Amino acid sequence: MDLDDRTRVADVMSTPLETIGADAPLREAARRMRDENISALVVTTGGGCILTQSDVVGAVADGSDPEATTVRDVMTEDVETVTPDLMLEEVAAMMTMYGVKHLPVVDDDYVGMMSSTDIAAHIS
């Protein structure tokens, strides 16, 4: 297979990128995820953070009040990112290696999100 024929992140990533502020209540984040049918939001803190469904479920399971708890309280920090030109196989390997289901796509700024669902939909 010629490298030019392989699928790149830019061809599969989810756009537009959905974001949320770090001070937003957890309930607002959960509603946005449900309404947009997505499982992660990039947190607009300027520092590589996301909020995933797993973060929300973990907080609720631990007894956090979804109205009083903020995104900042439960978000995942220092997440790995990928660039739009990476090959899909490389991203799948990164997700497996890091044990994650989401990788924000960065090209000078955040431009999209790669999820394990995006990969599965592409190969099926």
Q: To which residue do tokens 């607002």 refer?
A: 28
Total number of domains in the chain: 1
pLDDT of residue 46: 65
118: containing domain:
3-123
pLDDT of residue 1: 40
Please report, for residues 4, 20, 31, 41, 51, the alpha-carbon distance to residue 54 in angstroms, rounded to integers and kept in the order given.
36, 16, 14, 12, 8
Whether the model clears a pTM of 0.75, i.e. scores above it, the answer is yes
Q: Is residue 89 pLDDT above 60, yes or no?
A: yes
pLDDT of residue 48: 83
pLDDT of residue 92: 94
Query: Is the model more confident about 101 or about 47?
Result: 101
Residue type at 20?
I
Q: What is the pLDDT of residues 18-29, one digit of tens each?
A: 999 999 999 999
- The domain that holds 31 is classified in CATH as 3.10.580.10
